[in-house]
Amino acid sequence: MATLTVIGVGSRLRGDDAIGPLLIDALSRQTRSQIELVDAGSDALGILEYLEGREHVIVVDACQMGREPGSIVEFDSAQIDFVLKNDPISLHGLGLAESIKMAESLHMIPEDLKIIGIEPESIQFSGSLSIPVQRALKMAVDIVEDKLNRVSQLAEA
Amino acid sequence: MSRDLDIKVHHLTRVEGHGNIVVNMKDGVLEKAHLSIVEPPRFFEAMMKGRSFHEAAIITSRICGICSLGHQLTSLVATEDALGLEISEQTVLLRKLLIHGATLQSNILHAYFLAAPDFLNVGSVFPLIATHKDVVLRALRMKRLANDIGDIVSGRAVHPITPVPGGFSRIPEKAELLEIKRRLLEEALPDGLETIETMKALAGAIPQFERETEYISLKHPDEYALYEGDIFSSDTGALSVHNYLDVTNEFIVNHSTSKHAKYNRSSYFVGALARWNNNHAQLGEEAHAAAEAMGLKPNCFNPYMNTIAQVVEAVHCILDSVRIIDRLMEMGLKNEKPNQTPTRYGRGIGSNEVPRGILFHDYTYDNKGNIIKANCIIPTGQNLANIDDDMMKLVPEIINKTKEEITLNLEMLVRAYDPCISCSVHMLEVDFIE
């Protein structure tokens, strides 16, 4: 079993929303058994499949936080109020906020779940990241690598 | 009764593309009742132009996280039609298994997470987790199995995509398929039967509303059509998918940036209820028993019953998946290579039944195998005119209810169709606790 699970959420066709899947691509250039990489695409409910039985999980997604484009914020679900769409008109309305809330209610949240939110510049249909988010992608890779080193050391200790 | 009514439901999200319900009545005369869709401009053709036939299905599968498999398979069928690529019986069976998994997943989630909270009048799925945890876990268990079918057959967990033009780039292992079969029979079937009981108990809360319309779906000579077939209209019968533009007749309306569709009437219905009405005779005994238990009859004109038709289909998908795996075992799995040698270049049409209804992909390739023209018509676009017509009939019938009740009835109506309107973005919106 891998020691760290990283889940990237987002659509590769929607500009900066692709940050989650692209981070997974960047991390997968090295093959390592300690890390489990999941490209959840834009089916956020899919994250429920990758929480149980894991100790350390990172979810990476574009987040509207009212900050500068490219800003990276690492937080856990207790630190924030998710803006829930309580009357989804279709299954397409169930996003990451709803999925995490559901996982919480079902006691499926791992002991160490961190969300890495990256403020997008644009989520219009486009095949590329904006310049601030391209920079953020490199920094996010470093954050995950650091985390991997720390949890690997913990696991060995 | 002469009454003024002004309803505007804004499903506010950070992304363009959620549906707003607008109803306007003045002195008892209904002036407006529609679902207004603000969708991004059509980007499909621009996205596909110049792409090679190897790429088309990969890109289309990313249009929408929930509808990805339907787009992927329909794209492959269109490409194979355009390039004259024959596929094997094994490929067809594996694709049918994938469609069953995707249909099971979507139909079950819709019934439990969107429709059931309406029938129980609790607003959303979240209160249900506290009161009916076992039911929510059952839904997630069925979702997981459906997901695993996708992982094993399409290799999603390992490589992004194994279904490719002309076949599969990797064939699942015999043991993997047998394990799926075991879980279908030991987990999904009992869960499916429990689902019928749950929905039966809730069926009394389904609004009684009827509007006969034109029902359009695929029709297959030998089976309940989900993968390929002819287009079938309940009004005028069958025609080839190559003539799909004669059916969809897309037109522009003022209140929506998404095009509407009409064929023999002002609107038509696509989705589980249309499939049930057109093809119920091809379902097995168990699916018919499920329909009967939940009060779904042939020629049902109540759009709210779409959810019940979805549950009937879920039962069918479970059992038919077992039959498909049995057939694959009987034939013996062959390690075939995909047939990727084009025998012609030109135009091809693909059409499958995806959970929300009939889907069309239409590509024209140049003689290098690159796309020069592309079109895609999604089920929700085809249902929009029908939803508006439903609202125009429904509002006067329930006009004596309170504004809140009317609003809820309209929202439930839209939810019954489970429209795909905010494809592709699930961005998290957060407020930090200071």
All domains in chain B, ordered by first residue: 44-210+290-378+388-404 (1.10.645.10)
Rg of chain A on CA atoms, in Å: 15
Q: Tens digit of pLDDT for each residue in B408-420?
A: 898 889 889 988 7
Could you tell me the two tokens for B414? 């839209």
Q: Which domains does chain A have, with CATH numbers?
A: 4-156 (3.40.50.1450)
Q: Report the percent of chain B where pLDDT is more than 90.
A: 68
Report whether pLDDT(B141) > 80: yes
Can you state the angle between helices B189-202 and B306-331, rounded to 10 degrees? Answer: 170
- Nearest partner of A9 among A88, A85, A70, A97, judged by Cα: A97
- Chain A hits for B411, Cβ within 8 Å: 87, 89
Q: How far apart are CA B306 and CA B318, in angstroms?
A: 19
Report whether pLDDT(B432) > 70: no
Check residue B17 and give its pLDDT: 44
Could you tell me the two tokens for B406? 């009317």
pTM, full prediction: 0.92
Q: Do B424 and A45 touch (CB under 8 A)?
A: no
**Is A50 touching B (CB cutoff 8 A)?**
no
Q: Do A124 and B40 touch (CB under 8 A)?
A: yes
Nearest chain A residue to B156 by CA: give it: A39
Q: How confident is the model at residue B10 (pLDDT cuts 50, 70, 90)?
A: low
Q: Find all residues with CB under 8 Å of A123, minimum gap 6, and list them.
A: A14, A15, A16, A17, A62, B15, B425, B427
Report whether pLDDT(A35) > 90: yes
DSSP string, B233-294: ETTTEEE-GGGHHHHH--B--TT-SSPB--SSSS-EE-SHHHHHHHHGGGS-HHHHHHHHHH
Q: How far apart are CA B1 and CA B34, in angstroms?
A: 22
Q: Do A14 and B425 touch (CB under 8 A)?
A: yes
Check residue B158 and give its pLDDT: 45
Residue B91: enclosing H or E segment and its boundaries? helix B89-109
φ, ψ of residue B334 to 5 degrees: the values are: -105, 140
Check residue B12 and give its pLDDT: 36
Q: How confident is the model at residue B426 (pLDDT cuts 50, 70, 90)?
A: very low
* Residue B126: Cβ within 10 Å count: 18
Can you state the angle between helices B306-331 and B403-417, rounded to 10 degrees? Answer: 20
Average pLDDT, chain B: 89
Q: State mean pLDDT over B53-58.
A: 94
Q: How far apart are CA B308 and CA B318, in angstroms?
A: 16
- Nearest partner of B229 among B274, B269, B268, B262, judged by Cα: B274
A39-53, A56-70, B18-32: segment of lowest average pLDDT? B18-32
**Is A126 touching B (CB cutoff 8 A)?**
no
Most A CBs within 10 Å, among B148, B306, B427, to test the A interface: B427
Q: How far apart are CA B335 and CA B325, in angstroms?
A: 16
Report whether pLDDT(B382) > 70: yes
Q: How far apart are CA B298 and CA B293, in angstroms?
A: 13
Please name the amino acid found at residue B335: N
CA distance B395 to chain A (A): 19
- The SS3 assignment for B335 reads coil
Q: How far apart are CA B370 and CA B65, in angstroms?
A: 25
Check residue B32 and give its pLDDT: 84
CA distance B68 to chain A (A): 9
Please name the amino acid found at residue B113: F
Check residue B41 and give its pLDDT: 46
Q: Tens digit of pLDDT for each residue in A96-147?
A: 888 888 899 899 999 999 999 999 998 877 778 999 999 999 999 999 999 9
Q: Find all residues with CB under 8 Å of A132, minimum gap 6, and list them.
A: A68, A69, A70, A121
Q: How far apart are CA B295 and CA B179, in angstroms?
A: 34
Q: Are strands A4-9 and A35-41 parallel, antiparallel or unpaired?
A: parallel
Q: How confident is the model at residue B159 (pLDDT cuts 50, 70, 90)?
A: very low
Q: Tell me the residues of chain B between 85 and 144 that have a Cβ less than 8 Å away from chain A.
A: 106, 109-110, 113-114, 123-126, 129-130, 133, 136-137, 140, 143-144
A&B contacts, CB < 8 Å: 164
Could you tell me the two tokens for B332? 């013996």
Q: State mean pLDDT over A57-84.
A: 85
Q: Tens digit of pLDDT for each residue in B161-214?
A: 899 999 999 999 999 999 999 999 999 999 999 999 999 999 899 999 999 999
- Chain B hits for A85, Cβ within 8 Å: 11, 13
Q: How far apart are CA B331 and CA B334, in angstroms?
A: 8
Report whether pLDDT(B290) > 90: yes
Report whether pLDDT(B5) > 90: no
* Residue B95 · residue B80 · CB < 8 Å: no
Q: Tens digit of pLDDT for each residue in B247-278?
A: 999 888 877 767 889 999 999 999 999 999 99
Q: Tell me the residues of chain A between 1 and 40 that have a Cβ less than 8 Å away from chain B.
A: 9-14, 17, 39-40
* Residue B324 · residue B118 · CB < 8 Å: no
- Chain A hits for B424, Cβ within 8 Å: 11, 13-14, 17, 42, 125
Q: How confident is the model at residue B394 (pLDDT cuts 50, 70, 90)?
A: very high
Report whether pLDDT(B134) > 90: yes
